[in-house]
Amino acid sequence: MIDPAEFPELQALLWSRDAARPIPAEEAFALYERNWRFVDQTRLTAREELIIQDLADKFGHGILLTAG
């Protein structure tokens, strides 16, 4: 489970949900991938960049699809 409150851009993607509730890692990966156009990459913390890569490695075979 991932706590969105620890990752500013993930928290911003959860505008229609309770961002204080942890979400499954696979769901977090899907949110990043599906909504990448809304992610402000200049605001990503080093920790958030690391978790995005970890999620891509685990659920996307090392790839985060960012083109739509």
pLDDT tens sequence across 31-41: 999 999 999 99
Residue 65 resides in a domain:
no
In order of 18, 52, 68, the CA distances from 36 in angstroms are: 19, 11, 9
What pTM value is reported for the model? 0.90
Residue 17 resides in a domain:
yes
Q: Which range of residues forms the domain containing residue 52? A: 4-59
Residue 37 resides in a domain:
yes
Residue 31 resides in a domain:
yes
6 φ, ψ (degrees, to nearest 5): -85, -5
Residue with tokens 């996307």: 60
Residue 8 resides in a domain:
yes
Model confidence pLDDT, tens digit, residues 29-67 = 999 999 999 999 999 999 999 999 999 999 999 999 886
